[in-house]
Amino acid sequence: MKITKQILASIVYLSISFVGLAQGIEFREGNWAEVKAMAKTENKLIFFDANTSWCGPCKWLAKNTFTDKVVGDFYNQNFISYELDMEKGEGVALADEFKIKAYPTLLFLDGGGNIVHRTAGAMDAEKFLELGRVALDPKRNLAGMEQRYKNGERSQEFIRKYLARLSEAGKPLKEILDWYFYPLSEDDLLTKDNFEVISKYVNSPDSPQFRFLMKEGEAYGQIVTAKEVNDKIYNVYQSHLFGAMYSNDSLKWEIAKAEVKSSSMENSDKLLAYVDTYYFSRKKDWKTYVDAVNHYITNYELDNWESLNRYGWQIYKNTDITDQVSLKLALSWVDHSIQLKNCYANNDTRAALLYKMGDKKRAIKAANQAIAAATADEDTSGTKELIAQMSK
Amino acid sequence: MNNFKFISLVLLLTSQLGLAQGIEFRTGTWEEIKAMAKKENKLIFFDAYTSWCGPCKWMDKNTFLDKETGDFYNENVIAFKQDMEKGEGPMLLKKFGISQFPTFLFIDENEEVVHKGMGAKEPAVFIEFAKQAIDPALRLEGLKVQYKDGDRNPSFIRRYLFALRDAGEGRQEVLDWYLSYTTDEQLLSAENYELIKKMIGDPYHPKFMFLEKNRSTYERLVGAKEVKEMLYNAYNTFLVMAMYSGDKDRWENAKIRTGESGFEDAGKLITMVSIYYYQRNEQWDDYILSIDDYVNDYNISGGDMAYYANEIARNDNIQRKDQLNLALGWINRSIKMESKYRNNHAKAALLLKMGNTKKALKAAETALSLATDEEKEKSWTAPTVALIKKIKESA
């Protein structure tokens, strides 16, 4: 009887583990040559998840998307799936061969090791299924589009789709974009399709298309929404400013700021104030940094409790900022945040700041208020620890 | 004694003048040449040649000796030439990725190739080529930068396409884009005629068909003779490539495409290339029939008729009397047009093959009597002498 129970248990265990295996993508074992051989034998494409041990989106993808039942069924039926840490063993050479610079890179290859389709980044099950379908379709996958392009296909519609493929695959677009835009008149440019082309691929404020977008912002606002137009403009200038900042070329930085200041962009002051906070933080000029943050949030984020709280927390965490003036300023942001919304997160920041200021008494009080404001699913252990530490 | 001195002085002067005529190529190792270029602040002109390459030799004997070419190159560049199979040749071949001969490179002090061309060129073209190289806006490197910066102006793109073509670099992608936004109306220009002629030249290409369809307009732009020559060369190349491909379907389709083109010389070209096709495939009956068509249907020269008759005479695979008789018909027509050494020799060879030694001997003797001094001097008549010996032996 006892024995029977044990056998029964192991059967149940076996079948559970079997079900567990069948759920989601089954990745094959073996080296690259063996995987290619499997693809040839089974006459399937290889799905290759190129990841690294430290990459967050890779883990997210593995945990959420690859485990999806529908995804598993589809990929197991249609592909030889393979995954590899690109910084270990054979991964290093393959990363070089396939010029992999972003993680995760998702490759689809034939048995000869030729790339048929390629993209990068995490995505949910639905998008990932669509990715697999595109990879299988010679009319839509990267290799098929490249062939059509090579054969001389140049219709605008085709080129727009081709640009999307190249962009997904991380390939350069400028040469094709220059050709695409050249014959287009201003009227041609003022369409939803071409707003999308500009929005997706034009990122230089100096480009004629971006200047056109600035000039015709209102007209584009009628075609799409004003918000989409403004967001695009904001993003272009923002990355332009960050690019100038990271170049460590002070002249470039000043010129970029002057460009933004003199542009007709709606929120240019806000953007400049925002980027200034990064600039002084990068320079470790903490006094000016606090002033810049104060300027930014008191002018543009006063109605945003999360933002107010976030900056307050950053001041608390920053070990280089210890002076009372700065801490008081930060406390004022957090107080305002609590006025807008009394919750655990900002009361906790308040307690932390007060603690850093040396005001234990008020800090303990604030910490207790934080715990009281916490919802059931919020983890308050950090705050409790702080109280315990202060009560010693 | 005095006279002798004078003569040697003249000789010396002339030989020195002779040296100054044409491009003066510097000698030295690659490192030394680079040092010279740096010192004189000039580009290196590098002629990458081999000992067996015909166009390379042609350049040596013609363009490189041209006075104007020499003047321009000597003043503006450090000229250097290297046999790519000797000394530093293989190293330089690898360094600059050279695969054809001659390749002409203009190289700056950082060893960057700034301009490039290949194949033999006439002096005027060759000077123009160097002028492009020394102008940063016109040389290939400059054009590439301009293209990268986004210039897509039609006139610029045409210049860029021709520069890529001269350099033997890929240009399909650029060409496809250029054509994709060039309207039919724009295509009807002398510039675009040149482009279709040199960049396309493929009868299956839609723009080639466009040119054929609008032939009369192009004739007004560039002249009827030019267009006809272009079409002739294009179809000739088209058929010959199909013939050499060894792909029977391709060959049959090429014949159909040419036949349906409406080009006035289509039939002649098909027949002419068919002769080579049948020879290559050793289809001797068809071979002879197509030569016979070619001789009868098209206005070909007596020299060509003699050539084919001679080919039949020396071809051991062809022995049938009726076929040899056909060839004899061609040669008689050729002689009727103009009796010369060559056609009488071919007649003699044919007659001997047919067993008619008497007539063969007579034709051979006529041949010898008609040989020009040049033909005798260069011993081109030796086969006839041998033939006569053979006839006499067999008699």
Q: Closest Cα of chain A to B94: distance in Å?
A: 23
Question: How many CB pairs (< 8 A) connect A and B?
Answer: 22
What's residue A22's pLDDT? Answer: 56
Place of tokens 């799905």: A47
Instruction: Please classify residue B9 by burial: count the beta carbons closer than 10 Å to its beta carbon, then call 0-12 exposed, 13-18 middle and 19+ buried.
Output: exposed
Query: In this complex, which of B148, B152, B173 lies closest to A182 when CB atoms are compared?
Result: B152
Q: Hey, what amino acid is at A346?
A: N
CB contact under 8 A, A150 and B181: no
What's residue B1's pLDDT? Answer: 45
Which among A158, A162, A175, A204 is the top mutation candidate for probing chain B, defined by the most B β-carbons within 10 Å of its own β-carbon? Answer: A175
Nearest CA in chain B to A147: B173
Give the list of residues 6+ apart from residue B338 with CB closer than 8 angstroms, or none.
B302
CB contact under 8 A, B177 and A154: yes
Nearest CA in chain B to A153: B176
Q: What is the DSSP string of B59-128?
A: HHHTGGG-HHHHHHHHHHEEEEEEETTSTTHHHHHHHTT--SSSEEEEE-TTS-EEEEEES---HHHHHH
What's residue B13's pLDDT? Answer: 47
Residues from chain B contacting residue A154 (CB–CB below 8 Å):
176-177, 180
Q: Hey, what amino acid is at A68?
A: D
Residues from chain A contacting residue B181 (CB–CB below 8 Å):
179, 182-183
Residues from chain B contacting residue A178 (CB–CB below 8 Å):
150, 152
β partners of residue A108: A47, A117
Encoded tokens for A12:
């149940």
Helix (H, G, I), strand (E, B) or coil at A130: helix
CB contact under 8 A, B148 and A175: yes
Residues A314-366 pLDDT 10s:
999 999 999 999 999 999 999 999 999 999 999 999 999 999 999 999 999 99
User: Rounded CA gap, A125 and A60, in Å?
Assistant: 11
Residues from chain B contacting residue A152 (CB–CB below 8 Å):
172, 176, 179-180
Helix (H, G, I), strand (E, B) or coil at A79: strand
What's residue B67's pLDDT? Answer: 94
More confident residue, B91 or A4: B91
Residue A115 neighbours by CB distance under 10 Å: 18
Tell me which long-range contacts A120-123 makes (C-beta under 8 A, separation of at least 24): A120/A168, A120/A170, A121/A57, A122/A57, A122/A58, A122/A60, A122/A61, A122/A65, A123/A61, A123/A65
Phi, psi of A182 (to 5 degrees): -50, -55
Is the pLDDT at A210 greater than 90, yes or no?
yes
Which among A145, A171, A178 is the top mutation candidate for probing chain B, defined by the most B β-carbons within 10 Å of its own β-carbon? Answer: A178
Q: Closest Cα of chain A to B188: distance in Å?
A: 18
Nearest CA in chain B to A208: B150
Query: In this complex, which of B147, B150, B176 lies closest to A154 when CB atoms are compared?
Result: B176
Q: Closest Cα of chain A to B174: distance in Å?
A: 9
CB contact under 8 A, B172 and A150: yes
Q: What is the DSSP string of B371-390?
A: --HHHHHTTTTHHHHHHHHH
User: Rounded CA gap, B46 and B42, in Å?
Assistant: 12
Which among A182, A209, A211 is the top mutation candidate for probing chain B, defined by the most B β-carbons within 10 Å of its own β-carbon? Answer: A182
Residues from chain B contacting residue A206 (CB–CB below 8 Å):
none
Nearest CA in chain A to B153: A182
Place of tokens 């279709």: B196
Q: Closest Cα of chain A to B152: distance in Å?
A: 7
Residues from chain A contacting residue B152 (CB–CB below 8 Å):
178-179, 182
CB contact under 8 A, A174 and B150: yes
Nearest CA in chain A to B148: A175
User: Rounded CA gap, B180 and B154, in Å?
Assistant: 12
Is the pLDDT at A193 greater than 90, yes or no?
yes
Mean pLDDT of A76-100: 96
Mean pLDDT of A160-182: 95
Query: In this complex, which of A150, A152, A182 lies closest to B181 when CB atoms are compared?
Result: A182
Q: Closest Cα of chain A to B151: distance in Å?
A: 8
Do B312 and B280 form a contact (C-beta atoms < 8 A)?
Answer: no
Residues from chain A contacting residue B176 (CB–CB below 8 Å):
152, 154
CB contact under 8 A, A154 and B150: no
CB contact under 8 A, A182 and B148: no
Query: In this complex, which of B148, B152, B172 lies closest to A179 when CB atoms are compared?
Result: B152
H-run or E-run covering B37: helix B30-40
CB contact under 8 A, B172 and A182: no
- Give the residue numbers in B contacting A (CB under 8 Å), as ranges: 147-148, 150, 152, 172-173, 176-177, 179-181
Q: Closest Cα of chain A to B257: distance in Å?
A: 21
Nearest CA in chain B to A156: B180
Place of tokens 């491909």: B245
pLDDT tier at A78 (50, 70, 90 boundaries)? very high
Q: Closest Cα of chain B to A150: distance in Å?
A: 7
Residues from chain B contacting residue A149 (CB–CB below 8 Å):
173
Residues A245-269 pLDDT 10s:
999 999 999 999 999 999 989 889 9
**β-strands B43-49, B103-107: how paired?**
antiparallel
Helix (H, G, I), strand (E, B) or coil at A168: helix
ipTM computed for the complex: 0.76
Task: Read off the DSSP letter of residue A84.
Answer: E
CB contact under 8 A, A178 and B152: yes
Residues from chain B contacting residue A179 (CB–CB below 8 Å):
152, 177, 181
Tell me the residue ranges of DSSP E strands in A15-56.
45-51
Encoded tokens for A258:
């002057």
- Give the residue numbers in A contacting B (CB under 8 Å), as ranges: 149-150, 152, 154, 174-175, 178-179, 182-183
User: Rounded CA gap, A239 and A203, in Å?
Assistant: 8
β partners of residue A49: A83, A106
Do B291 and B275 form a contact (C-beta atoms < 8 A)?
Answer: yes
Which among A179, A180, A185 is the top mutation candidate for probing chain B, defined by the most B β-carbons within 10 Å of its own β-carbon? Answer: A179
Q: Angle at Cα A282 formed by Cα A278 and Cα A284, nearest 5°?
A: 115
pLDDT tier at A121 (50, 70, 90 boundaries)? very high
- Inter-helix orientation angle A226-246/A192-201, to 10°: 20
What are the 10-residue block averages of pLDDT along chain B, 395 residues in total? Answer: 51 49 93 94 96 95 95 96 95 94 94 94 95 94 96 96 94 96 96 95 95 97 97 97 95 97 96 96 96 94 93 94 95 94 94 93 93 86 89 79
Residues recorded for chain A: 392
Residues from chain B contacting residue A174 (CB–CB below 8 Å):
148, 150
What's residue B5's pLDDT? Answer: 52
Nearest CA in chain A to B182: A183
Place of tokens 């041209």: B66
Query: In this complex, which of B148, B152, B180 lies closest to A154 when CB atoms are compared?
Result: B180
0.90 exceeded by the pTM?
A: no
Mark residue B379 as left, alpha or beta (left: phi above 0; alpha: psi -120 to 50; beta: remaining): left
Query: In this complex, which of B150, B172, B179 lies closest to A178 when CB atoms are compared?
Result: B150
Helix (H, G, I), strand (E, B) or coil at A80: strand
What's residue A344's pLDDT? Answer: 96
Do A329 and A318 form a contact (C-beta atoms < 8 A)?
Answer: no
Is the pLDDT at A16 greater than 80, yes or no?
no
The lowest-confidence range among A182-191, A382-391, B60-69, B275-284 is A382-391
**Mean pLDDT value across chain A:** 92
Do A78 and A13 form a contact (C-beta atoms < 8 A)?
Answer: no
Q: What is the DSSP string of B257-301?
A: HHHTT--TTHHHHHHHHHHHHHHHTT-HHHHHHHHHHHHHHS---
Q: Closest Cα of chain B to A285: distance in Å?
A: 38
What's residue B379's pLDDT? Answer: 83
User: Rounded CA gap, B302 and B331, in Å?
Assistant: 8
Residues from chain B contacting residue A182 (CB–CB below 8 Å):
152, 181
